[in-house]
Amino acid sequence: MKAVALTEGQVEAYDLIVVGAGPAGLCFVRALEGCGLNTAVIERLPRSMIADPPVDGRDIALTHRSERILRDLDIWRHIPVEEVSFIRHAKVINGDSSYALHFDHRETGKDYLGSMVANYPIRRAAFAALQEISGVELIDERSVVGSGGNGEAVWATLDDGRSLRAPLLVAADSRFSETRRRFGIAARMRDFGRSCIVCRMDHDEGHGDTAFECFHYGRTLATLPLAGRRSSVVITLPSDDAADVMAMNEEAFNRDVAVRFAQRLGSMRLVGKRHIYPLVAVYADRFYGRRFALIGDAAVGMHPVTAHGFNLGLRGAAKLADEIRAARLKDADIGAARGLRRYHLAHDRVARPIYLGTNMLDGLYTDDRQPARFARSALLHLGNMLHPARQAIMRQLTDKAV
Ligand SMILES: Cc1cc2nc3c(=O)[nH]c(=O)nc-3n(C[C@H](O)[C@H](O)[C@H](O)COP(=O)(O)OP(=O)(O)OC[C@H]3O[C@@H](n4cnc5c(N)ncnc54)[C@H](O)[C@@H]3O)c2cc1C
């Protein structure tokens, strides 16, 4: 942690500094409504892009809990209804087999397993909801270049020379968080050596509100149901092959996806652009430091295969906001270690099994050697037979036991 020596007079004082106005940072700040905090949000993007983010190809599968949190935060009502679709069934397929592990919403007593919203409307809605509360200053087109702290306060220096101080600084600046490193918190990173191509495709056959996860040999192909005969397509493959797939002309790409998908959705046609992401998962050693906390991908950056990244980020952000609210109600210090540690423990308890389980799943289903192929197939059959295991996964999606 690089300390910046400053005298009191030079520093602008806030109650809270948040680095990163991505979905996690914005939702977190919105969750602090009514706490009476004077908050600075520092974001390197311009305000216009935060207010109206570009399409980034990510379609986010939301659990019932996430939907509820977004409703509670008055963010959900800023998402146009036509941007929301529903997953009622999920099928997991191994290799070339037509056998599927099937999750069915009717077994949960809920109308759907999860909802789908693209990332950019979530960001746009979170920013719109933030405009409705007072006490938040967005400092856009700025990055933190120095920071430090002592027992009483933490401070941040921006690239325009401004300096801010507050009792607490929260980093929501992505899985490659510079702030995390600056505060001396190590993170375990797993580079899968693979990339993920995402896009939207129209198709001739209806998807029946079904999400498919096809663990083919060599690459995985997932489709998530959008409104009408349209799906979000996620292709995970070795990074070398990803460049070739990105370079394919549209016609060849359409044909390739439809064939690999065994024509389940008939002919398929690309809508808009393809987007590519490197697959790197990150888990911070701790989610807090002295007067410092990590949220969102800066705390836990998930492999997207189980669609948990934002769901976890939102849950963690809500938990940290609860701790801060509780401290404010008692007129206590919001940056005190005890509250931050409680957040860390609670979030770690939820996130760690999901993170490890997801990485294990990815490891097994991208291992094409014969024993793994056998284990993959056996696991799917077992999953269908083991009612409690399937129920547990569906409970987690639909929030039933909570
Ligand atoms: C292909 C794909 C599919 C996904 N699907 C799902 C899904 O179905 N369900 C799900 O729950 N999750 C999903 N995710 C994960 C989800 O998109 C992320 O978890 C979520 O976007 C993380 O939000 P964040 O705010 O923590 O980070 P980010 O979205 O990375 O935002 C970080 C922000 O911080 C800013 N920033 C960075 N550094 C600085 C700095 N030094 N100073 C100032 N600002 C800075 C950035 O400009 C950015 O605005 C998916 C991810 C991918 C890649």
pLDDT digits (tens, 9 = 90+) for 230-265: 999 999 999 889 999 999 999 999 999 999 988 999
pLDDT at residue 3 greater than cutoff 70: no
Going from the Cα of 79 to the center of ligand 1, the distance in angstroms, rounded, reads: 18
Cα gap 304→322, rounded to integer Å: 27
375 lines ligand 1 (CB under 6 A): no
Average pLDDT for 195-205: 97
pLDDT at residue 375 greater than cutoff 60: no
When pLDDT is cut at 50, 70 and 90, the band that residue 389 belongs to is: low
Look at residue 390 in the predicted model and tell me its pLDDT. Answer: 56
pLDDT at residue 380 greater than cutoff 60: no
pLDDT at residue 100 greater than cutoff 90: no
Look at residue 368 in the predicted model and tell me its pLDDT. Answer: 58
Atom nearest to 26 CA in ligand 1? 25
Cα gap 306→355, rounded to integer Å: 9
Going from the Cα of 282 to the center of ligand 1, the distance in angstroms, rounded, reads: 12
- Spatial contact of 15 and 40, defined as CB atoms under 8 Å apart: no
Going from the Cα of 23 to the center of ligand 1, the distance in angstroms, rounded, reads: 7
Look at residue 382 in the predicted model and tell me its pLDDT. Answer: 57
Mutate to test the pocket of ligand 1, among 26, 27, 29, 60 (most ligand atoms within 8 A of CB): 60
Going from the Cα of 22 to the center of ligand 1, the distance in angstroms, rounded, reads: 6
- Spatial contact of 79 and 88, defined as CB atoms under 8 Å apart: no
Going from the Cα of 175 to the center of ligand 1, the distance in angstroms, rounded, reads: 7
pLDDT at residue 393 greater than cutoff 90: no
User: pLDDT per residue over 60-81, tens digit each?
Assistant: 999 999 999 999 999 999 999 9
Please state, for a pLDDT cut of 70, what percent of the chain lies above it: 86
Cα gap 24→336, rounded to integer Å: 22
45 lines ligand 1 (CB under 6 A): yes
173 lines ligand 1 (CB under 6 A): yes
Atom nearest to 119 CA in ligand 1? 17
Average pLDDT for 156-185: 96
- Spatial contact of 219 and 309, defined as CB atoms under 8 Å apart: no
Mean per-residue pLDDT over the chain, rounded: 89
The protein residue whose alpha carbon is closest to atom 17 in ligand 1 is 310
pLDDT at residue 178 greater than cutoff 90: yes
60 lines ligand 1 (CB under 6 A): yes
336 lines ligand 1 (CB under 6 A): no
Mutate to test the pocket of ligand 1, among 43, 177, 182 (most ligand atoms within 8 A of CB): 43
Going from the Cα of 298 to the center of ligand 1, the distance in angstroms, rounded, reads: 9
Instruction: Determine the 3-state secondary structure of 22 from DSSP.
Output: coil
At CA 298, angle to CA 186 and CA 184, rounded to 5?
Answer: 30
DSSP H helices, 54-168, are 64-72, 119-130
183 lines ligand 1 (CB under 6 A): no
167 lines ligand 1 (CB under 6 A): no
For residue 266, which phi and psi values (nearest 5 degrees)?
70, -150
Up-side HSE of residue 177: CA atoms within 13 Å toward CB? 37
313 lines ligand 1 (CB under 6 A): yes
Lowest mean pLDDT among 99-108, 129-138, 156-165, 278-287: 99-108
Among residues 29, 124, 126, which one has the least CA distance to residue 75?
Answer: 126
Cα gap 270→272, rounded to integer Å: 6
CA-only gyration radius of the chain, Å:
22
Mutate to test the pocket of ligand 1, among 86, 119, 231 (most ligand atoms within 8 A of CB): 119
pLDDT at residue 1 greater than cutoff 50: no
257 lines ligand 1 (CB under 6 A): no
Place of tokens 């993007």: 45
Q: Measured in whole angstroms, how far is the alpha carbon of residue 204 from the centre of its chain?
A: 30
Going from the Cα of 179 to the center of ligand 1, the distance in angstroms, rounded, reads: 15
Q: Who wins on pLDDT, 392 or 353?
A: 353
Q: Residue 349: which region, alpha, beta or left (left: phi > 0; alpha: psi -120 to 50)?
A: alpha
Q: Which two tokens stand for residue 365?
A: 């289903």
Look at residue 4 in the predicted model and tell me its pLDDT. Answer: 41
